[in-house]
Amino acid sequence: MNTKNTALFIFLMLTNVVSMHAMRLSEQELAAELQKNNYSGMPLLIDTKPLYDKLYRTSEEQRTEQDALKDLQQEHYYVHATNDQTNGIWVNKKFLKKNYGTLKNMITDWEKTQESKIIPIGVFPIEVISLGFSVLDNDSMVPYLSFTELINVANIFNFLDTPADKMETVLKMMLANLNKVPDETLKKLNPDVQKSLKDLRCRMQYYLYTQGDPFNGIWVDKKLIKENCEVLKNVIADFVETQEIRFPISLFSTAIIQLGFNILANDITVSDLSFTELIDVANIFNYLEVPIDKMRTVLGIILINKIPDQELKKLNPDVQKSLKKMQCEPWKY
């Protein structure tokens, strides 16, 4: 066999091996396989029909796969990170138009020109892109996100210009956990998102701090204060709702202020408190003039636990008086 015939024989053998291998691959696997072999510009799940035709002859099964992929592309766009076209997700184009102002005009132009349906999304990794679309499709998952995930979702929502109510759902969950997060973490938010969060905070929360220490306080829901803190109601009435409002709380540390409002918000069960915590909560409840049923719940637990007299002396005199009164009517606690 001469050199020319030998080369032809080897070429045919290699072609057969490639064809047999390709026939075993799914659409996704083929795309990934092709990327390994110098097809780096082709993202996963993009139409591979021209490449199929080069690798092996068409069968009914292969045509079905190609038709399914074509249908997918007609109704979806391929979304990926700007610097990684090979790693993305397919998203329904109606969903994109409805929820993303940034992409709406872009998609409309593409539909007119019939250009590629590949959309790069800023500098976000595919994990963040996928999470963002998932949250937009199902915002009931928002309460279960970590604070880092909330930041990522807020940032990509801002980039994509999602509907205001969708962004607000994420920001409200951030507000609910704001007291647990250091300021450094909040700096990871886009400046525009930081401003939106601050504006929402002014509408929904007041800042309470230990008198004399304005930099060490907590943010508390306005509704919770208005419904439970009679002593602050009149003061609140004098402020404009959209401005940032800060209240000093005399004598109590930030930890005690936080504990008191956690009880009012039902985030902590009174029966789980230690003797010292019960005394602290009773005192701050007295200061804030909380509803009588809230105070009696705390005093009832104090009586049930038979706290030592030495500890009871730490109660405010007015609270001690209320406690003695309750001892005379035990059926009411």
* Single-letter amino acid, residue 220: V
Contact criterion met (CB below 8 Å) for 273 and 301: yes
Q: pLDDT value at position 241?
A: 64
Q: Which two tokens stand for residue 81?
A: 């990170």
Domain ranges across the chain: 34-99+110-122, 124-189, 206-333
**CA atoms of 267 and 45, how far apart (whole Å):** 47
206-333 topology per CATH: Potassium Channel Kv1.1; Chain A (3.30.710)
Length reported for the chain: 333
Of 326, 315, 310, the closest CA to residue 280 belongs to: 315
Nearest-5° angle of CA 239, CA 244, CA 248? 80
The Cα 280–Cα 301 span in angstroms is 13
* Beta-carbon contacts of residue 230 (< 8 Å; ≥ 6 apart): 288, 289, 290
pLDDT of 73: 64
Gap between the Cα atoms of 80 and 46, Å rounded: 12
Interacting residues of 237 by C-beta distance below 8 A, sequence separation 6+: none
The burial of 220, by beta-carbon neighbours within 10 Å (0-12 exposed, 13-18 middle, 19 or more buried), is given as: buried
- 217-221 and 246-249 as β-strands: parallel, antiparallel, unpaired? unpaired
Task: Please measure the distance between the N-terminal and C-terminal CA atoms of the chain and give it in whole angstroms.
Answer: 105
- Binned average pLDDT, 10 residues per bin, the chain of 333 residues: 48 40 42 38 34 47 62 73 79 77 69 66 86 88 94 94 92 91 91 94 90 89 92 75 79 93 93 93 95 94 86 92 83 52
Asked if 311 and 276 count as a contact pair (C-beta separation under 8 A), the reply is yes
Pick the closest to residue 178 from 204, 141, 152, 158 (CA basis): 204
The span from the CA of 17 to the CA of 24, in Å, is: 11
Question: What is the pTM (predicted TM-score) of this model?
Answer: 0.68
Rounded to an integer, what distance in angstroms lies between the CA atom of residue 267 and that of residue 264?
8
The span from the CA of 70 to the CA of 44, in Å, is 14
